Structure 1
Amino acid sequence: MIGTDTGNAPAVVARRAIEALRAGVPSRDAVAALGSGQSAIEDRFETMCAAAATGSPAGMLIGGGFGAGKSHLLEHLARLALNAGWTVSRVVVSKETPLHDPVKVFRAAADSALRDGQARPAVIEAAAGLDLDGRSYAELLRWASSSGSELNERFPATLTLFAHLRERDPAYAETILRFWSGDPIPVPELRKRMKEIGEQRPVLSPVAAPELARQRMRFAARLLAAAGSPGWLVLFDEVELIGRYSLLQRAKSYAELARWMRGEHGRSTPIATVFAMTDDYEAAVITGRNDRQLVPERLRAKGTPEAAELAAAAELGMRIIDRETHLLTPPDDTELKQVYARLRELHGQAFGWHPPDVTGLERLGATRMRQYVRAWINEWDLVRLDPAYRPVTEAVDVASDYREDPDLERTPPE
């Protein structure tokens, strides 16, 4: 029938899941189909989110080998949080989004922030739905204006202006939204607008870009809470890329990881964080390159208070990676049987056939879930094309690459 939506038909959903799993992509369909076998990490995650929702921000770090299911688990945790009403952001550490740059990290988090059922970035949705005559807005403004918030005066000023101009001047209200999302805002125009609504000339102190980004994070989290979200979950993937930075940029990245993990966003800030990185990072980089000694030595040799502070934060970040990583549990025989049965059912739905049993890979402790999944899917593909064929699959491990890459230092301009 013309115009019939078949996008959610069982065969289509199954096909999307199979194709994503074949490519090693943790799509929503793939994760929904397989779930997660990491119950201990899920329990720790739910405890952390409950604490963050009451104003105690914190983080957790998960580790696993290539193909062990880190990205799959992040997508699963994202779905748990979204179902509970949380705002969720996904930040992939990359050349464009280096972990050591708070400005670019905030921008990536704000741009990707979504609540379940919303199409626009959550900061925009939260501002649009904020009851400007209600208690939540009044409490947000009171907090932003207090010394305890440690926010620059730009935030209470723009929040006051937004209440006056959201309906009367949508263009300038959009300027304010862009400021909250990471763009600069011209100070002369801001002062002029405040005067026009009868406010006294505000003091707008200078603030460095990295500090302003951190303040935006705190403010946006409180804005999202005022709009009804229990908290803001930020998921960092491929964190091991920091191993390819220079020593100084690794130091800054360790310090930023420590700041997020210790919830240094300020009291009553409902932010939860999950980092995912390879499980051999500590051995290959922190120990293998002697970062534990060289990073603080190089920094303290500068002889400045700023360098000493960075050295201490970097040391904390390295200790967290060494001692607080929650390793993914390898799949046991029961989980493998369940996943195999579910994949067999999905493959049959996707292609309209009855897949026979296939051998796949030998069940060894070092074999990762992605290797099992790819082997089963590939063998069913081959047998479907030639029922007489008996495929044999071999797995080859790909070693992590932690060689320093100077090109990663040259981040593109915004």
Structure 2
Amino acid sequence: MDYLAMLSHLFRQLGYNGWVVLIDETELIGRLGKKARLTAYKNMASFLFPAQYSRLESTFTMFAMGASFVEDVIETKHDFENMATVYVDRSEREPTEKVLNHIIAAPQLQPLNQDEILGVLKQVQDFHGRAYGWESRLDVREVLKATETRGYLLRTRIRAAVELLDQLYQYGQAGNIQINDLGEPHYWDDDLPSLDECVQE
């Protein structure tokens, strides 16, 4: 944390108003053991509430995580109860508790509507054409139609669109597109020991 505090101070000294830190796929915290997860939440507090829990200057942080995190991790893995048993003292619990409540209250992004998905696929088509120096002459609605059966996740639709465009570029026609489901992440059970528990044994 000292290194990040030094960076935030350096940015201010260089004349910047601050910096933005985006941490993606935060739901991977769910794969950690009980104690490691609580430590991760405590570290998140340093970014989300820098004035209280760290020396970060002018730092704005965004954490992105899957919509099912609260149900799949916080509730299923009993993080509030675990916090109460691991951190006996109220002052030790406070940063973790604030983060958990912050996650629960966080706004959820709405799924993209049809026009927004169409816009993304149009950009994929344009980038593909620029990358290979060709024009697909395919209406983007046909790309959308070809990706509709591939699932609801945007990344899966993008993969299907790239596969379709690759086939059209290479062979002049597109066959059946097979895209494996990427799905939502699966979280490990708590019966796996944490690193701290392994080191202490």
TM range (shorter): 0.7 to 0.9
Overall identity of the aligned pairs, in %: 24
Written as runs of structure 1 = structure 2, the 5 A alignment for 1:332-347 is: 332-347=113-128
The alpha-carbon distance between structure 1 residues 224 and 329, as it changes in their structure 2 partners (threshold 3 A), is: same
Written as runs of structure 1 = structure 2, the 5 A alignment for 1:137-176 is: none
Deviation digits for residues 241-283 of structure 1, max 9, x if unmatched?
2222222222222222223212336799311111122221111
Q: Are the counterparts in 2 of residues 254 and 318 from structure 1 also a CA contact under 8 Å?
A: yes
**1:362 equivalent in structure 2:** 148
Deviation digits for residues 90-131 of structure 1, max 9, x if unmatched?
xxxxxxxxxxxxxxxx3xxxxxxxxxxxxxxxxxxxxxxxxx
The CA deviation at 1:312 is 2.5
SS in 1 for 2:98: helix
Deviation digits for residues 361-410 of structure 1, max 9, x if unmatched?
2279x712211111111011112222244334556243412215547559
Q: 2:32 aligns with which of 238, 245, 249?
A: 245
Q: 2:13 aligns with which of 220, 226, 236?
A: 226
Q: Are the counterparts in 1 of residues 24 and 63 from structure 2 also a CA contact under 8 Å?
A: yes
Q: Are the counterparts in 2 of residues 237 and 275 from structure 1 also a CA contact under 8 Å?
A: yes
Q: Are the counterparts in 2 of residues 361 and 393 from structure 1 also a CA contact under 8 Å?
A: no
Q: Which has the higher helix share?
A: 2
Q: Which amino acid aligns with 1:284?
A: D
The CA deviation at 1:296 is 1.0
Q: Which amino acid aligns with 1:333?
A: Q
C-alpha separation in 2, matches of 1:268 and 1:387: 55
Q: 1:292 aligns with which of 80, 83, 96?
A: 80
**1:313 equivalent in structure 2:** 95
Q: Are the counterparts in 1 of residues 46 and 54 from structure 2 also a CA contact under 8 Å?
A: no
- In the alignment, is residue 379 of structure 1 matched against residue 164 of structure 2? yes
Q: Which amino acid aligns with 2:13?
A: A
- The number of aligned residues is 189
**2:58 equivalent in structure 1:** 270
The Cα RMSD (Å) is 2.9
C-alpha separation in 2, matches of 1:409 and 1:234: 28
C-alpha separation in 2, matches of 1:268 and 1:249: 22
Q: Normalising by the residue count of structure 1, what TM-score does the alignment of the two structures yield?
A: 0.41
Q: 2:186 aligns with which of 379, 391, 401?
A: 401
Q: Which amino acid aligns with 2:70?
A: E
The alpha-carbon distance between structure 1 residues 266 and 240, as it changes in their structure 2 partners (threshold 3 A), is: closer
Q: Which amino acid aligns with 1:316?
A: K
SS in 2 for 1:234: strand
Unaligned runs of 5+ in 1: 1-105, 107-212, 301-306
C-alpha separation in 2, matches of 1:394 and 1:266: 44
The alpha-carbon distance between structure 1 residues 251 and 340, as it changes in their structure 2 partners (threshold 3 A), is: closer
Written as runs of structure 1 = structure 2, the 5 A alignment for 1:7-156 is: 106=1
C-alpha separation in 2, matches of 1:268 and 1:252: 18
SS in 2 for 1:229: coil
The alpha-carbon distance between structure 1 residues 296 and 339, as it changes in their structure 2 partners (threshold 3 A), is: same
Q: Are the counterparts in 2 of residues 254 and 314 from structure 1 also a CA contact under 8 Å?
A: yes
Q: Which amino acid aligns with 1:387?
A: G
